[in-house]
């Protein structure tokens, strides 16, 4: 899903590098991901809050090991070798009452 054009924008994840690599987490919601962050995505699941822009990273191994739900665990194990960035509707900062794990994670982008 990665496509490259000549537009350079600030990386959505680290907000430091500029990159032309971008991907859609949902129709019309484009995120930019630099090489460094793509590299990070190999070992970490990256979640980005679509409402405040806060970025969360979880080590893949650790996250999979902790999972109790076998179905979910299997699904995540299949994704272990992929570079995945997920857009979440809300994060703990936007919704202090909620817990990030309970957030609907239907928006998934693969790089
Ligand atoms: Zn970056
Ligand atoms: Zn947020």
Length of the chain: 111
Question: CB–CB of 52/43 below 8 Å?
Answer: no
The rounded Å distance from CA 68 to ligand 1 centre is 31
Q: Over its length of 111 residues, how does the chain's per-residue pLDDT go in tens digits?
A: 455 556 899 999 999 999 999 988 888 889 999 999 999 999 999 999 888 999 999 999 998 999 899 998 998 888 888 888 988 888 878 876 655 454 444 455 554
The rounded Å distance from CA 14 to ligand 1 centre is 4
The number of the ligand nearest the C-alpha atom of 19 reads 1
Residues 48 and 90: their CA atoms lie apart, in Å, by 9
Residues 98 and 90: their CA atoms lie apart, in Å, by 9
Q: pTM for the full model?
A: 0.74
């Amino acid at each position: 899903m990665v496509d490259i054009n000549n537009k350079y924008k600030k990386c959505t994840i680290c907000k430091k590098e500029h990159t032309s690599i971008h991907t859609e987490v949902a129709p019309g919601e484009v995120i930019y991901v630099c090489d460094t962050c793509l590299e990070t995505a190999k070992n970490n699941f990256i979640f980005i809050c679509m409402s405040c822009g806060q970025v969360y990273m979880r080590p893949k191994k650790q996250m999979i090991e902790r999972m109790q739900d076998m179905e979910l665990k299997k699904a995540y194990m299949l994704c272990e070798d992929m570079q995945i960035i997920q857009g979440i509707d809300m994060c703990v900062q936007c919704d202090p009452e909620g817990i990030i794990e309970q957030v609907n994670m239907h928006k998934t982008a693969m790089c």
